[in-house]
Amino acid sequence: MAIRRVLIANRGEIALRVIHSARALGLETVLAVSAADRDSLPARQADRSVCVGPARSSDSYLNIDALVQAALGTGADAVHPGYGFLAERAAFARRCEGAGLVFIGPTPEQLDAVGDKLRARAAAEAAGVPVAPGGAVHSQREAAELAARVGVPLLVKAVGGGGGRGMKRVDDLTLLPIAMDMAAGEAGAAFGDARVYLERYVAQGRHVEVQLLGDGRGQVIHLGERDCSVQRRYQKLIEEAPAPGLAPSLRAALHDAAVRFAARLQYRGAGTVEFLVDMERGAFYFLEMNARIQVEHPVTEQVTGMDLVAAQLAIAAGEGLPVKQPAVRMDGCAIECRINAEDPAQDFMPSPGRVTRAEWPQGAGIRVDTHIEAGSRVPPYYDSLLGKIIAQGPTREAARERLIDALARTRIEGVRTNTAFQAELLADGEFVRGGVDTGWLARRKG
């Protein structure tokens, strides 16, 4: 069905990003805001904004009733959930569909299938996609038996989880029962689901993910991969496309595996399959699928020249995929830095407040996705992402140098930011060489 008016159930830079693509397609935008975001730049840029509740996310951006009512009450015919908040909540997608609204994302069934990590693991195995040795455990005895086969180090992970919560590393099998209890407790508190499973821990792993688009009828294309190995406590800091230094055969195998996984689900919309690439063994394992647009999508857009949000809107309107696989071209390299309101000098403590000065870099090969301007508030209720600076160039080195230069010209005052820290990482010899693993940042600090 045709979409005329989109309600955006999100905030911050992604809200603005969706507004831009929707407007370029001639769609009207309604932004759902909390009381804390009434005066935000996205609220002013949307054709209309409606306040759906108080500042606290649970009362506003996670308030399914209010969001669906806001969409119906403003005459929207579709809902874009952005990332985070309700983006991957099957119940939200279901409620939208039940109310006659197009949910711009996968089907509720697909969200259920990939949201449960054990089901997703099983789906990967069924699609012939490698998973790390491990699996479900229902008792301590079962866990001990499986752990003996998998070997240490291993990870206890939450079935309903993500973001590192409910995840414990075990180096000594006698400590497995304690780690299982801790992980289950954390997972139960964070996700309302205390189930855990075991997986081999890959010491020298890189986080490589493949961007996909599916039409919901079995056609799936990939837009290449991104390397997001620069992480702090499982939070991505720097992302780049393509992943540096992968053998062509390994790269092609990752693309194929991701497409196979999503095609089997008849996946609809934009999504990402994440892999852990074991550089020692030259092998890779399925981690999970993110059934949404991702924070780091701009690096893919910069090397492919495609608009992923526009593609989401087109797929949701039933127009199918924007291009066929052979027409997808990769050109050059792109690197993205996340600029967060946090203080590197104080263990990256969040730094909310009012931004008094905001000068973002401009120029050839530079893109900035942000909702922050001088005077913007950074409320303490939400995540600390202020914006993303993306640099592209014909080579990785050209993009890297441009990004360092762009960071040097970035001036954000009033709140603390990680800008200088990011510049330091980009200049680090190991990052310059390319292909650091997910443990690099933690080791570098220690």
By CB under 8 A, name the binding residues for other proteins: 35-36, 38-39, 50-56, 60, 65-66, 68-70, 73-74
Annotated active-site residue 292? The verdict is yes
* Bridge partners of residue 170, in order along the sequence: 154
Residue closer to other proteins by CB (options 56, 260) is 56
DSSP string, 67-126: HHHHHHHTT-SEEE--SSTTTT-HHHHHHHHHTTPEESSS-HHHHHHHHSHHHHHHHHHH
Point out the catalytic residue in the list 17, 226, 292, 416: 292
Distance in Å, CB of 72 to other proteins, minimum: 8
Distance in Å, CB of 411 to other proteins, minimum: 25
| Residues contacting 347, CB < 8 A, separation 6+ | none
| Phi, psi (degrees; rounded to nearest 5) at 363 | 130, 180
CA-wise closest residue to 245 among 439, 432, 427, 398: 432
* Bridge partners of residue 209, in order along the sequence: 226, 274
Q: Is the dihedral of CA 258, 259, 262, 265 positive or negative?
A: negative
Residue closer to other proteins by CB (options 35, 374) is 35
Residue closer to other proteins by CB (options 74, 266) is 74
Q: Could you tell me whether strands 28-34 and 5-8 are parallel, antiparallel, or unpaired per DSSP bridges?
A: parallel
Residue closer to other proteins by CB (options 36, 93) is 36
Distance in Å, CB of 50 to other proteins, minimum: 5
Residue closer to other proteins by CB (options 290, 384) is 384
Distance in Å, CB of 241 to other proteins, minimum: 39
Q: Which residues of 326-360 are buried (b: 16+ CB within 10 A; e: fewer)?
A: eebeeebbbbbbbbbbbbbeeebebbeeebeebeb
**Residues 414 and 355: beta-carbon distance below 8 Å:** yes
Distance in Å, CB of 83 to other proteins, minimum: 23
Catalytic residues: 292
